[in-house]
Amino acid sequence: MKVVIWAVFLGVLVSGCYSVLDESPHISERSLRKTANFPIGTSLRFLPFIVDQRLKALHEHHFDSYTAGNDMKMHRVMPFDNEFNFQTVDAIVAYTQQNDQRLFGHNLIWHSSTPKWVVEKARKDPQWLANFMREYIHAYVGRYKGLVHGWDVVNEGINTHGGGYRTDSIWYEILGEKYIEQAFHYAHEADPDAVLFYNDFNTERDMAKFDFMLSMVKDLQARGVPISGIGFQMHIRMDIPDEVIAETLQKAADTGLQIHLSEVDVIFNTHNDSKGGGVENFTVLTPEMRAAQREKYKNLVRMYREIVPKKQQYGITFWGFNDRDTWIKKFFAMIDWPTLYDEDLQAKPALLGVLEGLD
């Protein structure tokens, strides 16, 4: 019964005849999607997004690619032992189809969104995990064949700092490094046309991590593993040097693979990559900081366009597009202003920076 009610609720929302929050705002800023000649995306939480008319209007104005911030992760699509729950993903597919937006699948295998029941079962029965991974990817990618354009097949499989495979992952612990290539094979078997990414963070600035990723990716390519792209999450900070970003982008582009800036935001304060960790150096956003952030965004977009050959530009996806909903504040428990729109959903100079970078 609960399932039926939820399905009807989502159906009504997606059909567009349900309006709960604000009316559509007038949007005077130029559209990102119309200015760019590659897809421009953002991550969203389907609820409350789908009932927020202001967010929807801004989204439809600026973006032609949709990434689920959480809704497509394993702990959301299979919260309980072997029971898929595809309701939200089905609704997202319907929404993106109606709005002619590319749907990007984030993600298939990620240590951090692996449900507890999977971890517990895997420790008892290692062989079960190998079968589960194959069946999970086949069923999930197969269901959305032709509907989900590309996938982050493996997310954050490398240690947080420096090189080496991430060891605090049940997938690595039980299956060893082979799980990475197996995941790509299974995804390709289920949808041969889907664009398949390895996605990670800090690879634009941690050279040891970048080098490890690059040799891993090159090895996968050399052995015919069906990897089609590299995702740079690109959660950057104002003081990450552009030259370093340019160098890593160049080397990644040299692989010939698709390059996705997959989770872009630009913070001021210094986080340390652990939940609640970091130093809050800035508590007020000054006009000078806003102007500097505009420049940073412009440079990032310019570098992407200049360094990555056109046919390898999978697109730029922002990890949320307003400072009200950004993950940064919750995760690091500190104030920051990482995105293109402010807390009141007003455009920041950062948005102009992206537009300038796209011009």
Give 241's DSSP letter.
Answer: -
Check residue 327 for interaction with ligand 9MR (CB under 6 A).
Answer: yes
What's the length of the chain?
359
- Choice among 173, 243, 263, 288 that is catalytic: 263
Residue with tokens 């690091």: 332
Q: Which stretch binds ligand 9MR (CB under 6 A): 4-12, 68-76, 143-151, 299-307?
A: 68-76
- List, in sequence order, the alpha helices (H) in the chain: 2-14, 32-35, 46-49, 53-62, 74-77, 87-98, 116-124, 126-143, 170-175, 178-190, 207-222, 242-253, 287-307, 327-332, 349-358
Check residue 248 for interaction with ligand 9MR (CB under 6 A).
Answer: no
196's enclosing H/E stretch is: strand 195-200
Q: How far is the CB of 24 from ligand 9MR (least distance, A)?
A: 26
> What CA–CA distance (Å, rounded) separates 2 from 189?
34
Question: Shortest Cβ contact with ligand 9MR: which residue?
Answer: 327
Looking at residues 269 to 308 of the shown chain, list those that interact with ligand 9MR (rule: CB under 6 A). Answer: none
**Residue with Cβ nearer ligand 9MR (35 or 70):** 70
Check residue 113 for interaction with ligand 9MR (CB under 6 A).
Answer: yes
Active site residue 156: yes
**Residue with Cβ nearer ligand 9MR (199 or 248):** 199
Question: 285 burial class (0-12, 13-18, 19+ CB within 10 angstroms)?
Answer: middle
Looking at residues 138 to 157 of the shown chain, list those that interact with ligand 9MR (rule: CB under 6 A). Answer: 155
> What CA–CA distance (Å, rounded) separates 358 from 352?
10
Check residue 105 for interaction with ligand 9MR (CB under 6 A).
Answer: no
Looking at residues 181 to 240 of the shown chain, list those that interact with ligand 9MR (rule: CB under 6 A). Answer: 201, 233
* Residue in 41, 69, 229, 357 binding ligand 9MR, rule: CB under 6 A: 69
Q: Choose among 41, 43, 46: nearest CA to 65.
A: 41
* Residue in 191, 204, 263, 325 binding ligand 9MR, rule: CB under 6 A: 263
Active site residue 120: no
> What CA–CA distance (Å, rounded) separates 337 from 326?
8
**Residue with Cβ nearer ligand 9MR (65 or 233):** 233
**Residue with Cβ nearer ligand 9MR (50 or 352):** 50
Check residue 70 for interaction with ligand 9MR (CB under 6 A).
Answer: yes
For the stretch 306-333, what's the b/e string if a residue is b when 16 or more beta carbons lie within 10 angstroms of its beta carbon?
ebbeeebbbbbbbbbbbbebbbbbeebe
**Residue with Cβ nearer ligand 9MR (67 or 293):** 67
74 to 111, 133, 171: CA distances (angstroms): 10, 11, 13
Residues with a catalytic annotation lie at 156, 263
Residues that bind ligand 9MR (CB under 6 A): 69-70, 73, 112-113, 155, 201, 233, 263, 327, 331
